[in-house]
Structure 1
Amino acid sequence: MTEERSLPTHAHTFPCSRAGFDALAGRLARSGGADFILSSPGYPAQTESVIGVEPVAELRFTPSTTPEEIKRFCFGSPGLSLGFVSYTYGMLLRGVASAKPLDFPLGHLKKFRAVAEFDPEAGAVVHTEDPALVRRIGLLLEVGEESTPPVTLPKGDFTASLDRAGYEAGVSEALERIRSGHTYQLNLSAKFSRHWPDLDPLALFMALRRDHPAPFYAWLESGPHRVLSTSPERFLRVADGEVLSQPIKGTLKVEPDAGEYEPGQEERLTGSAKESAELSMIVDLIRNDISTNCDYGSVRVENHKSVFQVDNLLQMYANVRGTLRQDRDCLDLFLDAFPGGSVTGCPKHSSMEIIEALEPHSRGVYCGSAVVIRDERNMDSSIAIRTATWDAASGGFAVYGGSGIVVDSDPAKEYRETIAKLEKFFALGGA
C-alpha cells in the first residue's frame, strides 16, 4: 500500500455531455494515472460513470490478503475505492484449490487524488482539493468530444484454450457431472489469446465503448496489465443499505441487421424451458448468497425473466433484492457472495471445483468483478464478463467467453453461444 496523501472533498462542476465525459476519461487515462467505469443509459444494470485520477493509496491483493485488510483499506480513510477483484481470489475465499500458476493479479483497489462523476444534469462533477488538478480536468473538458479511430487486429488467429472440439467435450463432461449429481448447473468458459505487442489498448477500449454500449465498461490498470471489461451484468449494488443483484442467464442471438428485436423473439427466449431453468437456478443461488447478510424476510425476486438487448444478443435477467443488515457492511455481502453465481454454478463450491478441472486456463479477472466501494453501505459491482486483458510486458491479449450448462444443454449450441458473446472482439480481425 502506498503512503496516503490528501483525498477528495471539494466538488467542482463542469458542464459536459456523456460523450464528453467519456472523452475526458480517455484523455486522463492516456496521460496516466486514471481508472474508470463508464455506463450507458437504458440498461437494467446502468450505474454511475466514475473516473479515479492519480492514485494516492492502493491495495494489491496477495494470497494472504484477508477480508479484514480489504475493509481497512476501503473504510479506514475517506474517499471511494475503485478497482477489481479477480475470480481467482474468489477461489481462495471458497477454498477451491488450483495448481495453475497465478498469471494475473488477484485484485487491485485504489483511492485517488481526484474523483470525477457524471451527472446527467450538471455534467462532470469533480471532487478534489487540488486546484492544479481541477484546472487540468477543466482544460481537458474544453477539448470536447473526439472521434475514435477504428482498431483492427493484425493478421493471425486466436489460440483457444478450448477449441470447438475441446469445448464441446467439456460440455459433455459437465453433463456427465450433472447426471452424476455433482452439480446441476455450471459455467464453462474458454480463453482466446494472441500476441499483440503494438496494441493501443485504450484506443481499442474506447472504440468498443463507442460502437457497442453496455452498462459496465471498466478500464483498470494494474502494473503491466490492462483490464478492458465491457460487461452488461451487475453483480451486487448496495445503495444506502438496499441490495440489488441482477443475474443474467438466458441468451438468444439477434441477427446483426435486424435492429431492435421483435416481440416474438423475446417470447422465444422467455418460453424456453432450458433458458428459464438456467435463470431460475441461479436466482435461487443468489437469494441464498445474499440472505445471510440481509434482514430476515427482506430478500425477494422481482421482474423474473425480464429481457434486454446488448450487442446482438437478447439477455434474460431478474432483480434479486434485499436490505443489508445493520450489523453488516457491503464488503461482508460482496465477499460472502463472491464470485457471482451466474459465472460459477450451483452448488457453488462443487461447480467451481469442476470448472477448475475442466478449464485448462486460469480465469484471472474474467468472471471476477469491477467494483466501486463508497462506504460501508454504498457500493456497485459488475460480473466481469465480455472482458479482455492486455499485458504490456509480454504483448499478450486475451478475451474470454462462456455459457451456462444445464442437463438439457447441447454442446454445439453452447459453443456457438460462447462465440456469439465475443463477436465484437473477433470482428476486429474478421475472425
Structure 2
Amino acid sequence: MPCANCFELPDELALSFLEALGLAGGVDVLLSAKGRHVSFLAGLGPKDELVVRASTSREELERFIFADERPTVGFLGYEYGLRRLGLTLAKDSDFPLGHLKKYETYLVYEAECVCLMGQKLLDGRVAALLERAAEAAAKTAESPAARGSARKESARAEGLGRLVSASLDRQGYEAAVRQAQERIRDGDTYQLNLSIRFTAEAKGLDAYGLFLDLARRHPASYYGYFESGPFRVVSTSPERFMRVRDGQVLSQPIKGTKHLDARFGDREAAEAEQALRTSAKEDAELSMIVDLVRNDISAHCEHGSVHVENHKSVFRVDNLLQMHSDVTGRLKPGSTVLDLLLDAFPPGSVTGCPKKRSCEIIDSLEPHSRDVYCGTLLAIYGRRDMDSSVAIRTGFLDTGAGFFHFYAGSGIVMDSSPSCEYSETLAKAEKFLQLLGGGE
C-alpha cells in the first residue's frame, strides 16, 4: 500500500498514539498487539459505507469492495453467514448483518513507522499527535500499576456496571452441552460450538478506551474496534480467519484450550502444553475442523495447493493455552479474496462439522443471536490481498440501550464434560468479567 507520508513511532508509543488519535472520535482500528510489538490499520473519516442487509447481494459487496484501490475495513456478522448457508433466522436482532467502510484517511503502522494515506484529515495534526502520545506514554511509564488500576476502576464505575444477564446459566449451558452430545450420537453432527451471551449495564462506557485498555493489559493478535451506527464493536480475538497475500492463502483455525493457573511456573506450563498436544479429545476437535477448513478453501484454491502445516501448534493468550494449525493454499486465477471468504463463511472453528447442520443445531440450542460474535473483522486491500479474524472474545456496546454484550463459547464433542466446557467458556470471558468485578 503506497504511503503519502511516514513518521517514526516507537512501539511503546503506538497505543498512546491511537489514544490521542481517537480523542475526536470516528476512528476504526484493526490492531495486532503481541507484547511490545504492535501493528495497526486505522481508518478516519468514512467516505463510503455499505451496511449489509438481508437484501444485499454478493454482487453489491463485490462492487463496493473493488470499486477502487482504497482498502475496505469492516465486519460480517455470524447471521450473514447463516443466510449464505440458506438457513432461516429464528431470532430477531437490530444489529446489522455487516458493515463495510472506505475512508478519507488511513494510517498503517508497522516496524515502528506510521504511514499516512490520503492525509487530508490529518494535515498539521501529526506532530501534535506524536507529541501527545509521547506525553501519555511517559505518564504510563512513571506508574503503570497505578494507571492500570485507575483505568479499571474508571471502567467499572463510569462504564461497565453490574452483569444484568447471561443467556445461559451453568445449569442451562450444561444441559445444552448434553443435548448437543445427543445430536452427535444421532449422527447429526461430529462437533459444534456452543456459546453464552453476557449483558452488562454500560451507561457512560468509553468503548474505545476499553478497547485500548484491554489491548494494553491483554495483548492478542487480532484486536478490532469498529463503529456501526449506535453500536461499538470491541474484538480481542486471538484467531485469524484467512489471510491472502498476493494470492497465498493462510487460515489458522483454533481448537483445543487449556486454562493455566496464574501460579504456574515454566515447568507447570510446559506440562500443560504437553497435555494439550497429547489429548485425544482436543486432537479430534482440531483435526475435524482442519479438514473442514481444507474443504472450505479448496473451491477457490489451485488444485493440489492446499496443505496443512504446523499441526497442533500451541500459543498462550491471557491465561489460556490455545492449539491451532496452518491451512495454506494458492488462490485460483479468476477467484478473488471475496469469493474465498464468502464460501468459507461463517468460520468452521466456531460452527462445527458438518457446517450447515451444526449451525441449525446451534440455532436451536442458543437462546441468543450472535451478531458480530463468530463473524469476521476484515481488511481487504485488493482482489488477491486480505486479512481477517474470527470474531471471538468479542462484544459490542449498544449506545442507545446502554448495554454492553459480550460472548464466549467452547467446542462440544462426544468426550466433552459439560462442567468443564462451562468452566472453559467462563475462562474465555474472563477479561470482560473481571471488569465487572466478578464471574465464577
TM category, shorter:
over 0.9
Other structure's SS at 2:314 match: strand
Please state which structure has a larger fraction of its residues in helix: 2
The 10-residue stretch of structure 1 (254-263 or 365-374) with the greater mean CA deviation from structure 2: 254-263
Among 283, 294, 297, the residue aligned to 1:287: 294
Alignment of 1:346 with 2:335, yes or no, is no
Runs of 4+ in structure 1 off by over 4 angstroms are none
* Higher deviation after alignment, 258-267 or 380-389: 258-267
What letter is aligned with 1:175? Q
Letter aligned with residue 188 of structure 1: L
| 1:358 corresponds to | 365
The alignment status of 1:428 with 2:429, answered yes or no, reads: no
Matched, 1:17 2:10: yes
Please give the alpha-carbon distance, in whole angstroms, between the structure 2 residues aligned to 1:352 and 1:186: 8
**Counterpart residue identity of residue 390, structure 1:** L
Give the C-alpha shift of residue 39 in structure 1: 0.5
Residue 48 of structure 1 and its aligned partner are, at CA, apart by: 4.8
Match of 2:344 among 333, 337, 345: 337
1:126 paired with 2:116, answer: yes
- TM-score by length of structure 1 reads 0.94
Distance in 2 between residues matched to 1:10 and 1:316, nearest whole Å: 36
Point out the more displaced range, 365-374 or 112-121. Answer: 112-121
Partner of 1:140: 129
Cα deviation for residue 9 of structure 1 reads: 6.2
Report deviation, 1:304.
0.3
Counterparts in 2 of 1:120 and 1:378: CA distance versus 1, 3 Å:
same
Query: Is the aligned partner of 1:250 residue 2:240?
Result: no
8 Å contact kept, 2:74–2:379? yes
Shift of 1:129: 5.0
Cα deviation, residue 10, structure 1: 4.9
Partner of 1:308: 315
Q: 1:5 — aligned with what?
A: none
Q: CA deviation at 1:33?
A: 1.9
Tell me which residue corresponds to 2:151: 150
The equivalent residue for 2:19 is: 26
- What letter matches 1:144 in structure 2? A
SS in 1 for 2:300: coil
Conservation of the 8 A alpha-carbon contact between 1:230 and 1:385: yes
Match of 1:262 in 2: 269
TM-fit CA distance, 1:42: 7.1
Q: Give the equivalent residue in structure 1 for 2:51.
A: 60
CA distance in 2, matches of 1:359, 1:259: 37
Instruction: Kindly state the Cα deviation for residue 24 of structure 1 after the two structures are TM-superposed.
Output: 2.4
Cα distance, 1:138 vs structure 2: 3.2
Give, in angstroms, the shift of residue 419 of structure 1: 0.2
Secondary structure of 1:153's partner? Answer: helix
Verify: 1:175 aligned to 2:181, yes or no: yes
1:84 aligns with 75
Indicate the residue corresponding to 2:95 in structure 1.
104
Match of 1:229 in 2: 235
Give the total of aligned pairs. 420
Give the 3-state SS of the residue equivalent to 1:65 in structure 2.
Answer: coil
Distance 1:14 1:134, change over 3 A: farther
* Partners of 2:85 and 2:374 in 1: CA distance: 15
Q: Is the 8 A contact 2:198 2:407 kept in 1?
A: yes
Change (3 A) 1:48 1:329: farther
For residue 207 of structure 2, the aligned residue among 196, 201, 204 is 201
> Percent identity of the aligned residues?
50
